[in-house]
Amino acid sequence: MSKNYQMPADFLWGGAIAANQAEGAFKVDGKGISLADLHRYYPEKSNAEISAAQHQGMSVADVKANLADQVGYYPKRHGIDFYHTYPEDLALLKEMGFKTFRTSIDWTKIFPTGEESEPNEAGLAYYDRLIDNIIELGMEPIMTILHYETPVEITLKYGGWNNREVIDLFVKYGKAVLDRYQDRVKYWIVINQINLIQFEPFNSTAIPYDTVDNYEEASYQAVHNQFVASAKIAEYARTLNPKLMMGTMVADCTAYPFSCNPDDVILAMKHNRMEYFYTDVQFNGAYPQYALNYFKENNIQLDIREEDKELLKANTMDYLAISYYYSQMVDATKNTIKADSITANPNLKANPWGWAVDPQGLYNSLSQYWDRYHKQIIIAENGFGMYDELVDGKVHDDYRISYLSEHIAQMKNAMYDGVEVIAYCAWGPIDIVSCSSAQMEKRYGFVYVDLDNEGQGSGKRIKKDSFDWYKKVIASNGEHL
């Protein structure tokens, strides 16, 4: 296997966060309200109940209630105050030896409602300072243009991403940030995890579930509009600066068959193919027939215009970014080809949020995507969310070291087989608010942040055992695991 494999000398070791989970600075410097700012923390809910709420999404009434709420706690409005602490936080990443750092630009910091004719200079200036600091510390910035930070007005005035008018609003924003940072940022991810419409429907599409008759149809229309917007932004980027690398990103939702029963094998194939649908469109430049068949069979009628087809064909993406946390399984007696119709794998252990630990799943996923597209891959997220215990000023997170070590080893196995992975970004290298649960206690970092689920604490940064471990991994270019 990869025992004697030598990692490329220019490999980009690093980590990733999202603006909405870290920056805070709610309404500071002209920032508007994003969908993430509506994510309330409910201390009385179990992890399973929190997950169920994410799957359901939000209604118009939910949105308006959360906007008016003066009592509830909304963790993503506060994050870890990265907006003000980024110099100290980035210095910690530099101490670990980071070669790259991925984060997002918050749409509502640049166009607070999405409708403004001119960008907010204070927001642009903040990202000037942040990106310059990243580069000064010797890290390659990887910037995501949309990471669940759609302005709330897109929901309330336009009904969400299924409205074609949103395409031009997003493209305007995309052009503004490309104009501003194209001389400093080479790697761009246009839309984070574009395939999660069934796991995080409201985050992904901004569509309230009570405003459409066929939510699945509206969701796929939203994705189509995001395909078109991504192609337009990629087209603009190539005229602006041919050196820019424009990527698409998916969350890996690969599923294993429950058994060798042909029904399970075929279901897994069809399930996985509907996950490859997103990248098939963005790398091949056309809708595959199996997806068109699925839409027809499920009464999903999309507004796909001839000019859309031409645009998608001419403006495919340059590279693939993936997030990988866990694998899944499908059982033909219980499941369908829908992404969220899955069965727990009895062969794997899971974390407290039900995410099954499967390092070999990363090897499988990387191999499948490479064999299908032969496009460079960035591992944009990989990490282990867990309850960390701070005892006598220390966090002994051997479980995180074990998880990451085994996943990096499987990444190396894939690279040994020829998969061209160019970067590895551990998720949440400094503890941030969880995307899915809005909890602070679901921690991923090498650095502990002394804040609880309701934002109480000193905010002090404390190095975990994994901090020194990852520092050695980077220094040895992946030899020391």
Question: Which one-letter DSSP state was computed for residue 180?
Answer: H
pLDDT of residue 366: 98
Instruction: Indicate the pTM of the whole model.
Output: 0.96
Does residue 64 register a pLDDT over 70?
Answer: yes
pLDDT of residue 436: 86
Does residue 115 register a pLDDT over 70?
Answer: yes
Query: How far from the centroid of its chain's Cα atoms is residue 92's Cα?
Result: 23
Strand partners for 421: 377
Mean of pLDDT over the chain = 96
pLDDT band, residue 2 (cuts 50/70/90): low
Neighbouring CB atoms inside 10 A of 81's CB total: 17
Q: How far is CA 190 from CA 76, 333, 363, 383, in A?
A: 21, 38, 25, 22
Among 175, 70, 156, 143, which Cα is nearest to 113's? 156
Does residue 48 register a pLDDT over 90?
Answer: no
390 Cβ contact list (under 8 Å, min separation 6): 448, 450, 462
Residue 149, both tokens? 């930070």
pLDDT of residue 46: 81
Does residue 3 register a pLDDT over 70?
Answer: no
pLDDT band, residue 24 (cuts 50/70/90): very high
Query: How far from the centroid of its chain's Cα atoms is residue 412's Cα?
Result: 22
Taking the C-alpha atoms of residue 388 and residue 403, their distance in angstroms, rounded to an integer, is: 14
- CA atoms 237, 175, 194, 16: torsion sign: positive
Encode pLDDT of 119-153 as tens digits.
Answer: 999 999 999 999 999 999 999 999 999 999 999 99
**Mean pLDDT, range 66-73, rounded to an integer:** 95
**Mean pLDDT, range 4-33, rounded to an integer:** 96
**Mean pLDDT, range 83-99, rounded to an integer:** 98
**Mean pLDDT, range 378-386, rounded to an integer:** 97
pLDDT of residue 56: 80
Sequence ranges of the domains in the chain:
12-475
9 Cβ contact list (under 8 Å, min separation 6): 477
pLDDT of residue 478: 96
pLDDT of residue 43: 85
Taking the C-alpha atoms of residue 247 and residue 378, their distance in angstroms, rounded to an integer, is: 9
Encode pLDDT of 406-420 as tens digits.
Answer: 999 999 999 999 999
Encode pLDDT of 157-200 as tens digits.
Answer: 999 999 999 999 999 999 999 999 999 999 999 999 999 998 88
Residue type, 43: P
Does residue 1 register a pLDDT over 60?
Answer: no
Quick one: 12-475 is in which CATH superfamily? Glycosidases (3.20.20.80)
pLDDT of residue 4: 78
Taking the C-alpha atoms of residue 361 and residue 407, their distance in angstroms, rounded to an integer, is: 9
**Mean pLDDT, range 345-355, rounded to an integer:** 91
What percent of the chain lies above the pLDDT cut of 70? 99
For residues 189 and 380, the answer to whether their CB atoms sit within 8 Å is yes
